[in-house]
Structure 1
Amino acid sequence: MALKQITVTCPHEGVDKGKQFVITRMSAVEADKWGRHCLQAAAASGAAIPGMEPGAGLAGVAAAGIGIFAAMSPERMDELIDRLMQCVEMVPDPANRAMTLNWQLAQGQIEEIPTVGWLQTEAFKLHVDFFKGVGQLFSLITLMLGTESNAPAPASET
């Protein structure tokens, strides 16, 4: 089965508006490793990060959100964001979507700072957004189980 890919188009006004990028999700093993490294780097900073549980992997990163990077040393933050951005390619010619530029080459084609932040957010969301849906599902199940436990016990036959 192929890794999930999304194509995003830069929405910001300016030179980069309309530029297309393909973001490919990391393998589950790579994403988990990346998530654990993010959590470790954030925890090592000593900052209190809401929702962060040590060893939670990618689920912990999702709970903390993209702001997790603010708690890290600049060097470690750059390393982890660079790893994330290896999943991004640019489509220089939308008429020829088979031709893409890897992240190293695509960087030279991005002309505006907001585009970089937007791409980081899009890549982050691709890797962690499914946890938000799972979290809602678990909340619903917990609610349902809680409701069921408050229900009266079935009447026994006498």
Structure 2
Amino acid sequence: MALKQITVTCPHEGDDKGKQFVITRMSAVEADKWGRHCFQAGAASGAAIPGMDPGAGLAGLAAAGIGIFAAMEPSRMDELIDQLLQCVQMIPDPGNPAILLNWQMAQTQIEEIPTIGWLQVEAFKLHVDFFKGVGQLFSLLTLMLGMENNGPTPAPAT
């Protein structure tokens, strides 16, 4: 099965408006490893990060959100964001979407600083958004299991 891909179009006013990018999800193994590394870097900062569970991998990263990067030491943050952006390619000619520029080439075509932040958020969302719906299911399941364990004891059979 192919990895999930999305095509996004830069919505910001300026020189990058309308430029198209393809973002490809990392493999599950790569994404989990990347998520654990993000947590380790966030935890090493000593900052209190809501939802932070260093062993939670990508699911835990989804709970913490993209704000986890603000807690990291700058060089580690840059390294992890660079790893994330490796999944971004650019469509230089919308009339020929089969030709893609890899991230190293695509970044030379980006002219506006907000475009970089927007791509970071779009790539992050692709990798973690599916956990948001699952998280609600786990919360409900946890609640139900807790109620089952704390409910009244059934009356003994007579």
Shared fold (TM-score, shorter chain, > 0.5): yes
Normalised by the length of structure 2, the TM-score is: 0.91
Normalised by the length of structure 1, the TM-score is: 0.91
2:8 aligns to what?
Answer: 8
Structure 1 unaligned segments of length 5 or more: list them. none
Q: How many Å separate the matches in 2 of 1:73 and 1:148?
A: 44
Q: How many Å separate the matches in 2 of 1:51 and 1:147?
A: 23
1:90 aligns to what?
Answer: 90
2:114 aligns to what?
Answer: 114
1:104 aligns to what?
Answer: 104
Q: How many Å separate the matches in 2 of 1:44 and 1:148?
A: 38
Deviation string for 1:95-148 (max 9, x for gaps)? 111000000000011000000000000000000011101001222334555677
Runs of 4+ displaced beyond 3 Å:
140-158
Q: 1:100 to 1:51 in 2, by over 3 A?
A: same
Structure 2 unaligned segments of length 5 or more: list them. none
Q: How many Å separate the matches in 1 of 2:28 and 2:83?
A: 14
Deviation string for 1:47-106 (max 9, x for gaps)? 111100121111111111000001111100000000000000000111111000000000
* Identical pairs, percent: 84
Q: CA RMSD in A?
A: 2.0
2:41 aligns to what?
Answer: 41
Q: How many Å separate the matches in 2 of 1:150 and 1:40?
A: 35
Query: Number of residues paired by the alignment?
Result: 158
Q: How many Å separate the matches in 2 of 1:150 and 1:78?
A: 46
